[in-house]
């Protein structure tokens, strides 16, 4: 293995882990580190130059590799563009940047005969990128879906285990360092949309504009939603889902979903990530592990750098690491064409209301449903839980609006397509969850 000379931009959470791992190996010499504020106290004392001037890295002809763990779009895009133009390889953990400027960066890297490595940008320490790029090279990807954000998975797991509200779970996540002071990117699903854009590039050949990806966060999930999920033997997870469509479009969506007992995502708790990839030859594979954090993310970053060191002296090694990504943006399925199956909880305000009438009204308005539970609340009002067929939201909302004297108390997405195959109908609610059902309950299934 050759010894390569590297510069590091950023010495925060991930950068500190990177420095520690680099100190334990002999194949990469860290020459310079650029930070924003040179006076800041650090947890590591590297022996190399520390500077506030990134040009000390970009303009140093001896530096062959720039490792970027600073984050954000500008000025980092300009730094990496200059580094690529100067013929340097790049390792980055920056999903926000790649999701928005990936097409430009990868086409520049290709033109310059250098590589961008980005294992840490999705699912932290889980080797997902190299699995898609290398391990599944012989496959067409039929679907990719994942729990891709540790913060939201921690919050939802906490809401399930304690019955607390979203606000209480978020506060605890912030106190324990699982959520940022400003959690918007995580809890509104922006972070998952960025990661899904990168996964779309690797799985379906094009980055997707994250702003165009259907996105729902978890801020509106209530303790009642969690209780409804539990009563049906499910947990709620925020997932990112990618499906190629026949018309050369890609369906990409980020939203919370009910995951039934027995599904591989059901037991993925806390800050863990998990990803299901369905390949044309391999079938379905599951990858899971720590999706963020200092050491897991540094493991992916330094792994990328070591992979480069292994091959840098081989002739034309660059093409081996060039991802097959088109430089135009993906064309996404229109919002109005996206269809969802739902679990809906309805309260009937007219005492003695007729359940069959509700089902008939919904059907007359174009919505096939299956009533899975009918009971009463403490005040004697009828409460119905029903699943809807897979339909666009506009049809579901219109049909529900036609049920007289009714309040929709919860509407939760169900797993669909390949993701649900083999799990939905076989799922069994744990005994404790089944006991919480009242009235005529049936196993949760989608009639679609």
Ligand X SMILES: NC(=O)c1ccc[n+]([C@@H]2O[C@H](COP(=O)([O-])OP(=O)(O)OC[C@H]3O[C@@H](n4cnc5c(N)ncnc54)[C@H](OP(=O)(O)O)[C@@H]3O)[C@@H](O)[C@H]2O)c1
Q: Is 195 a catalytic residue?
A: yes
Whose Cβ is closer to ligand X: residue 13's or residue 434's? 13
Residue 334: DSSP 8-state:
P
Asked if residue 208 binds ligand X (CB under 6 A), the reply is no
Asked if residue 54 binds ligand X (CB under 6 A), the reply is yes
Asked if residue 177 binds ligand X (CB under 6 A), the reply is no
Whose Cβ is closer to ligand X: residue 36's or residue 438's? 36
Asked if residue 392 binds ligand X (CB under 6 A), the reply is no
Taking CB under 6 A as the criterion, which residues in 369-388 touch ligand X?
none
Pure H helices in 205-354: 223-231, 294-311, 318-321
Whose Cβ is closer to ligand X: residue 74's or residue 175's? 74
**Closest of 296, 321, 308 to residue 18, by C-alpha:** 296
Whose Cβ is closer to ligand X: residue 33's or residue 359's? 33
Shortest distance, position 301 Cβ to ligand X, whole Å: 8
Question: At CB < 8 A and 24+ separation, what contacts does 107-113 make?
Answer: 107/327, 108/81, 108/84, 109/84, 109/322, 110/322, 112/84, 112/85, 112/87, 113/87, 113/318
Q: Pick the piece of the chain touching ligand X (CB under 6 A) from 4-12, 212-220, 372-380, 429-437.
A: 4-12
Q: Which of 2, 3, 59, 75 binds ligand X (CB under 6 A)?
A: 75
Distance CA 130, CA 85 (A): 25
Q: Pick the piece of the chain touching ligand X (CB under 6 A) from 89-97, 230-238, 363-371, 426-434.
A: 89-97
Asked if residue 69 binds ligand X (CB under 6 A), the reply is yes
Shortest distance, position 226 Cβ to ligand X, whole Å: 26
Distance CA 337, CA 447 (A): 19
Q: How many CB atoms lie within 10 A of CB 48?
A: 15
Whose Cβ is closer to ligand X: residue 78's or residue 328's? 78
Q: Which of 4, 8, 9, 19 binds ligand X (CB under 6 A)?
A: 9
Shortest distance, position 181 Cβ to ligand X, whole Å: 11
Catalytic residue among 195, 230, 237, 382: 195
Taking CB under 6 A as the criterion, which residues in 282-311 touch ligand X?
292-293, 297
Whose Cβ is closer to ligand X: residue 33's or residue 234's? 33
| Residue 142 near residue 278 (C-beta atoms within 8 A) | yes
Size of the site for ligand X (CB under 6 A): 25
Which tokens belong to 201?
């590039």
Which tokens belong to 282?
């391999």
Q: Which of 28, 80, 116, 120 binds ligand X (CB under 6 A)?
A: 120
Backbone angles phi, psi at 383, to 5 degrees: -120, 125
Whose Cβ is closer to ligand X: residue 58's or residue 234's? 58
**Closest of 206, 268, 254, 260 to residue 233, by C-alpha:** 260
Distance CA 415, CA 424 (A): 8
Asked if residue 124 binds ligand X (CB under 6 A), the reply is yes
Peptide bond into 75 cis (omega under 30): yes
| Residue 118 near residue 98 (C-beta atoms within 8 A) | yes
Taking CB under 6 A as the criterion, which residues in 21-50 touch ligand X?
34-37, 40
Pure H helices in 163-208: 166-175, 184-187, 190-204
Taking CB under 6 A as the criterion, which residues in 316-375 touch ligand X?
none
Do the bridges between strand 89-92 and strand 65-68 make them parallel or antiparallel, or are there none, so unpaired? Answer: parallel
Rounded to the nearest 10 degrees, how much is the dihedral formed by the CA atoms of 66, 292, 264, 336?
Answer: -80
Asked if residue 127 binds ligand X (CB under 6 A), the reply is no
Return the bridge partners of 284, or none: 278
Q: Which of 4, 6, 7, 15 binds ligand X (CB under 6 A)?
A: 15
**Closest of 433, 387, 327 to residue 107, by C-alpha:** 327
Q: Which residues are catalytic, by number?
A: 195
Residues at the interface with ligand X (CB under 6 A):
9-15, 34-37, 40, 54, 69-71, 75, 93-95, 120, 124, 292-293, 297
């Amino acid at each position: 293995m050759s010894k390569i000379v590297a510069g590091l931009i950023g010495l925060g959470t991930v950068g500190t882990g990177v420095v520690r791992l680099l100190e334990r190996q002999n194949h990469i010499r860290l020459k310079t580190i650029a930070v924003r504020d040179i006076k800041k106290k650090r947890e590591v004392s590297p022996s190399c130059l520390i500077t506030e001037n990134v040009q000390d890295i970009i303009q140093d002809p001896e530096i062959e590799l720039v490792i970027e763990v600073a984050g954000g779009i500008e000025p980092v895009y300009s730094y990496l563009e200059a580094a690529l133009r100067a013929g340097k390889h790049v390792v980055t953990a920056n999903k926000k940047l790649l999701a928005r400027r990936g097409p430009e960066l990868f086409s520049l890297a290709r033109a310059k005969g250098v590589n961008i490595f980005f294992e840490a940008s999705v699912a932290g320490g889980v080797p997902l990128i190299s699995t898609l790029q290398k391990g599944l090279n012989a496959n067409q990807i039929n679907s990719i879906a994942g729990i891709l954000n540790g913060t939201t998975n921690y919050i939802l797991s906490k809401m399930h285990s304690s019955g607390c509200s979203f606000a209480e779970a978020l506060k605890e996540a912030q106190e324990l360092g699982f959520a940022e002071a400003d959690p918007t990117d995580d809890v509104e699903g922006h972070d998952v949309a960025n990661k899904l854009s990168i996964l779309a590039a690797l799985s379906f050949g094009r980055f997707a504009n994250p702003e165009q990806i259907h996105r729902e966060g978890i801020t509106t999930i209530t303790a009642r939603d969690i209780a409804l999920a539990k009563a049906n033997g499910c947990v709620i997870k925020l997932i990112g889902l990618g499906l190629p469509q026949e018309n050369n479009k890609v369906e990409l969506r980020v939203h919370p979903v009910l995951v039934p007992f027995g599904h591989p995502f059901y037991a993925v708790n806390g800050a863990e990530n998990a990803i299901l990839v369905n390949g044309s030859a391999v079938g379905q594979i599951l990858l899971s592990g720590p999706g963020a954090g200092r050491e897991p993310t540094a493991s992916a970053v330094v792994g990328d750098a070591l992979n480069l060191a292994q091959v840098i002296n081989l002739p034309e090694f660059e093409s081996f690491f060039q991802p097959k990504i088109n430089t135009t943006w993906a064309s996404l399925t229109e919002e109005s064409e996206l269809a969802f199956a739902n679990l809906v909880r309805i309260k009937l305000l007219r005492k003695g209301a007729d359940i069959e009438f509700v089902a008939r009204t919904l059907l007359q308005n174009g919505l096939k449903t299956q009533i899975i539970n009918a009971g009463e609340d403490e005040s004697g009002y009828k409460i119905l839980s029903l699943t809807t067929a897979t339909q666009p939201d506009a049809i579901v909302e219109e049909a529900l609006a036609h049920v007289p004297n009714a309040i929709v108390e919860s509407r939760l997405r169900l797993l669909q397509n390949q993701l649900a195959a083999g799990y939905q109908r076989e799922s069994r609610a744990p005994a404790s969850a089944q006991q919480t059902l009242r009235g005529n309950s049936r196993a949760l299934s989608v009639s679609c």
